[in-house]
């Protein structure tokens, strides 16, 4: 398969409701999509970088710049390559895992579409559908939070994740647990908002029987997470700290986590995400697939990844309607608390070309010689 060019496409999509975490609030997404065109067809990738470098050092303008100036030209200079070789081609350029993941994803989608194989089959999915959890942002009041959770429970989501931060933690969790009972799978996500000195405070969440506490401390404080794990009963899950299969192995060996959240964009692509999964599976560490408010393009790949055997906890693989009134692909829907793994070639979803054109804000074509 020979690549003839890459299109960088920016689109803007409003969220159905503001989504607030410990690092800020989002009302819409400025999304960078990649379209890889080959002699055998095309493939799509989605960059999950946010508009500002608040979740990670990457941001969407920076991702577009590094793709335009370095990553796409490196791929062009390499000649015909297969998806498993993309990471090696891009390795001389340090960092930028979200940009690299989007490019690898588009190449892989093109290859799989041409061969007639689905993402799920290629990655090793073993189930036809995956249990869907939902992430609930920080709200203006407890009443607003309870109403939101009630709606998601009524829709059939099998797990609720509450975003927390200092000043919004004990009372929201207590309110949700008291309202919906002990049978509700409930977990929290701090997005690095606390420090090891907050251990005594975080231990007050133990009585609420949480599935896990996600990334309470800064991403570079792996040792602190190991210390915290020995001070609280709630299982510690790492998100931002897991940037590769190697970092996952190190964190597990240090006792810094009992559970791992795997986000392909954060680790540099779906092939590295599969390697992280393999590390977790080999060490008996439960894993689940995190989300970054993806459109149907990224959601299709995430759902396929979540079908692997080591993903034993519900992920943030919610329905399209959780975030968008209209998606750019065939929408993902909730069916008895599950989302189906696409079975068509490549990502297995059809793009809504009319809507995509309507929300496109810019395009750039990079031709290969």
pLDDT per residue as tens, the chain (369 positions): 799 999 999 999 999 988 888 888 889 999 999 999 999 999 999 999 999 999 999 999 999 999 999 999 999 999 899 999 999 999 999 999 999 999 999 999 999 999 999 999 999 999 999 999 999 999 999 999 999 999 999 999 999 999 999 999 999 999 999 999 999 999 999 999 999 999 999 999 999 999 999 999 999 999 999 999 999 999 999 999 999 999 999 999 999 999 999 999 999 999 999 999 999 999 999 999 999 999 999 999 999 999 999 999 999 999 999 999 999 999 999 999 999 999 999 999 999 999 999 999 999 999 997
Mark whether 45 and 185 lie in a shared domain: no
358/241 Cα distance (integer angstroms): 37
Are 160 and 62 contained in the same domain?
Answer: no
174 and 314, same structural domain? Answer: yes
Tell me: do 94 and 72 sit in the same domain.
Answer: yes
Q: Is 211 in the same domain as 140?
A: yes
Same-domain pairing of 178 and 277:
yes
If asked whether residues 142 and 80 sit together in one domain, one would say no
CATH number for position 60 = 3.30.390.10
- Does 321 lie in the same domain as 176? yes
Q: Does one domain contain both 259 and 329?
A: yes
CA distances from 230 to 189, 224, 234 (A): 19, 10, 10
Q: Please tell me whether residues 69 and 142 are part of one structural domain.
A: no
Verify that 128 and 226 share a domain, yes or no: yes
Supply the CATH number for residue 159's domain. Answer: 3.20.20.120
Q: Which domain holds residue 90?
A: 3-116+349-367
**CA–CA dist 30, 217 (Å, integer):** 28
Nearest CA to 267 out of 256, 255, 280 is that of 280
In terms of C-beta density within 10 A (0-12 exposed, 13-18 middle, 19 or more buried), how is residue 282 classed? exposed
For 163, counting Cβ atoms within 10 Å of its Cβ (0-12 exposed, 13-18 middle, 19+ buried), the class is buried
Tokens at residue 87, please? Answer: 């990471």
| Alpha-carbon span 213 to 300, nearest angstrom | 26
Phi/psi region, residue 181 (left: phi>0; alpha: psi -120 to 50; beta: rest), is left
Task: Report whether 327 contacts 94 (CB < 8 A).
Answer: no
Domains identified in the chain, total number = 2
User: What are the catalytic residues?
Assistant: 163, 263
Domain identity same for 330 and 358: no
Sequence-distant (6+) residues with CB within 8 A of 222 are 238, 241, 250, 251, 254, 256
């Amino acid at each position: 398969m020979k690549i003839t060019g890459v299109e960088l496409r920016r689109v803007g999509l409003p969220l159905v409701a503001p989504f607030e975490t410990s690092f800020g609030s989002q009302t819409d997404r400025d999304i960078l999509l990649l379209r890889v065109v080959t002699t055998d067809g095309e493939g799509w990738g989605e960059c999950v970088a946010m508009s500002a470098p608040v979740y990670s050092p990457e941001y969407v303008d920076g991702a577009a710049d590094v793709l335009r100036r370095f990553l796409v030209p490196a791929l062009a200079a390499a000649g015909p390559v297969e998806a498993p070789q993309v990471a090696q081609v891009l390795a001389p350029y340090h960092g930028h895992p979200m940009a690299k993941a989007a490019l690898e994803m588009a190449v892989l989608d093109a290859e799989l579409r041409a061969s007639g194989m689905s993402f799920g089959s290629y990655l090793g999915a073993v189930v036809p559908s995956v249990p869907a959890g939902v992430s609930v942002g920080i709200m203006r009041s407890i009443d607003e939070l309870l109403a939101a959770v009630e709606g998601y429970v009524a829709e059939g989501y099998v797990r609720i994740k509450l975003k927390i931060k200092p000043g919004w933690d004990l009372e929201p969790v207590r309110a949700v647990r008291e309202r919906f009972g002990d049978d509700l799978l409930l977990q929290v996500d701090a997005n690095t908002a606390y420090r090891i000195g907050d251990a005594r405070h975080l231990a007050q969440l133990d009585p609420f029987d949480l599935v896990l506490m996600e990334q309470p401390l800064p991403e570079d404080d792996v040792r602190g997470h190991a210390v915290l794990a020995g001070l609280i009963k709630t299982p510690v899950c790492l998100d931002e700290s897991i940037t590769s299969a190697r970092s996952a192995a190190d964190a597990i060996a240090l006792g810094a986590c009992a559970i791992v959240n795997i986000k392909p964009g954060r680790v540099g692509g779906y092939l590295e995400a599969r390697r992280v999964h393999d590390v977790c599976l080999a060490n008996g560490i439960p894993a689940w697939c995190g989300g970054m408010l993806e459109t149907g393009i990224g959601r299709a790949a995430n759902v396929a990844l979540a079908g692997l055997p080591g993903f034993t906890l519900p992920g943030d693989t919610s329905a399209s309607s959780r975030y968008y009134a209209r998606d750019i692909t065939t929408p993902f829907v909730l069916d008895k608390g599950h989302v189906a793994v696409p079975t068509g070639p490549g990502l297995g979803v059809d793009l809504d070309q009319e809507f995509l054109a309507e929300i496109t804000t810019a395009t750039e074509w990079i031709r290969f010689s």
